[in-house]
Amino acid sequence: MLDVIGLTPDEERLYRCLVQLTTARVGELAERLGLSSTDILAQLEALRGKGLVLPAGPEPDAPLRPLAPDVPLGEALLRRQEALESARAAVTQLTEEYRAGMRRHDAGHLVEVVTGARALRERLRDLQNGARSEVLWFCRANPLAMPGQENVEEFDALARGVRYRAIYERGMLLEPGALADVEQGVRAGEQARVLDRLPVRLAIVDGRTAVCPLVPERGSGEPTAAVIGRSQLLDALLALFESHWLMATPLGPAAPPVAPDGDGHRPDPDEARLLSLFVAGVPDKSIASQLGVSRRTVQRRLADLMALAGVDTRPGLAFQVARRGWI
């Protein structure tokens, strides 16, 4: 057992015997261990060299006594530990060099390219079905492979406790039926925010896999996308999402209505939906189209809400909406 720190099994056996006897002569040790005196003397000399037995006295057959093992064996153990730590550090460095080399010479270890809307759609579905903690989305207008109403996997994932955070490009909310799809997701538990522009389309699952569309395939025009595994590139995409999440405006559900504020006002579902679009920066004309009313009606309702909030500007209304928790 002590061979890892330089003690052979025979030397360990002899030392243990001497420790048990406290003091003994060569002949007694030879008899107990079933060895010749020559073998015992050779092993004793090795133990003396390792600081475990007192040096030989002037008498040839003087009693032998063991020395405490903690100092000599402790020093050997410490040297062994230092050697193991150095070896571990070397293995870690070699592993990093190996991974870096593989990434330089084999892009398949970093990025997989998926071609075609159908293949991309299936990959997004598989990733969501396998999600365990969180899915992040950059949702731009004119989806390439999976319109919001087709993404039923999101609702299954939300139901089993997966967190969804989505940032929508404002132009996407102007598409017919888009707002209703977003509201349905929010009611199911999605956290939604909106920005004027997003830099890329992006999905990240569990912080370990990202899907980012590339340029269309030359010739066929089919969409292509990069599936990116754990790497510094993925870390950069995660940081990109988080920075935009902090800048984005929360997009609340149209229902259920929130509790009354200090003045006793409780926005009804239509008002909550109107305010959600208003705070998101959607133009009056587009809000009217989404709500199925005239532009004048939108302006009148916003004016009424400004009066209720006690402000006379739209920025003031946006501030009061957030302060009063109207959406």
Q: How many CB atoms lie within 10 A of CB 317?
A: 23
Supply the DSSP string of 72-96, one letter for each residue. HHHHHHHHHHHHHHHHHHHHHHHHH
pLDDT digits (tens, 9 = 90+) for 113-152: 888 888 888 888 899 999 999 999 998 877 766 666 677 8
pLDDT for residue 278 is more than 50: yes
Mean pLDDT of all residues in 210-232: 83
> Using CA atoms, how far apart are residues 93 and 98, in angstroms rounded to an integer?
9
The percent of residues in the chain predicted with pLDDT above 70, rounded, is: 80
Contact by Cβ (8 Å): 209, 227: yes
Tell me the one-letter amino acid at 248. A
Mean pLDDT value across the chain: 79
Higher pLDDT, residue 187 or 176: 187
Burial of 239 (0-12, 13-18, 19+ CB in 10 A): exposed
pLDDT for residue 20 is more than 50: yes
pLDDT digits (tens, 9 = 90+) for 246-273: 888 877 654 444 445 555 577 787 788 7
Contact by Cβ (8 Å): 77, 69: no
Domains of the chain: 1-105 (1.10.10.10), 111-250 (3.30.870.10), 269-324 (1.10.10.10)
Q: Which tokens in the block code for residue 185?
A: 């997701």
Pick from 98-107, 178-187, 213-222, 275-284: least confident: 98-107
pLDDT for residue 100 is more than 70: no
pTM of the model as a whole: 0.56
Pick from 198-212, 224-238, 272-286: least confident: 272-286
